[in-house]
Amino acid sequence: KDDTPGCTMEAIEFSELAGDFAALDTLVLGVSADSCISHGGFRDKYGLTVELVADVDGEACEAYGVMQVKNKDGVEHRGIQRSTFVIDKDGVIRHALYGVTPKAHAEDVLSLVRAL
């Protein structure tokens, strides 16, 4: 979700490594249910360089299995589980990482991409 602590940290770290990903001919996309307008404000506020995709209808989230039932204070609701997918040039998912921790995650993903 735009402008939340975890997503902000993750987006900044991926932006800082954008040159490294580009050198490996790798496109980094951040996907959330936020609107394009929300993404624009988030991008501008933090100077992000990663591309942000608006999945307002939840189609991509459902397709990749990241919509999960969560329990907060005894109340169940559906929400997006922070996840990362490394997809090769043939469209094959090489790594599917669910429940990731934002801190240093971009560097971990960069290592996975380098190993391909």
Residue 53, phi-psi category: left (phi > 0), alpha (psi -120 to 50), beta (remainder) = beta
**Alpha helices (runs of H) in the chain, residue ranges in sequence order:** 5-16, 18-23, 36-46, 59-63, 105-115
Neighbours of 88 (CB within 10 A): 12
State residue 5's pLDDT score. Answer: 95
- CA–CA gap between residue 78 and residue 91 (Å, rounded): 28
Q: Is there a contact between 26 and 14 (Cβ–Cβ < 8 Å)? A: no
State residue 2's pLDDT score. Answer: 95
CB environment 55-67: b (16+ within 10 A), e (fewer) = beeeebbeebebb
Q: Which of 7, 11, 50, 61 is catalytic?
A: 7
State residue 84's pLDDT score. Answer: 97
State residue 100's pLDDT score. Answer: 95
State residue 78's pLDDT score. Answer: 87
Q: What is the CATH number of domain 5-109?
A: 3.40.30.10
- Asked about 7 being catalytic, the answer comes back as yes
**Tens-digit pLDDT string for the chain (116 aa):** 999 999 999 999 999 999 999 999 999 999 999 999 999 999 999 999 999 999 999 999 999 999 988 888 889 988 899 999 999 999 999 999 999 999 999 999 999 999 99
Q: Where do the domains of the chain lie?
A: 5-109
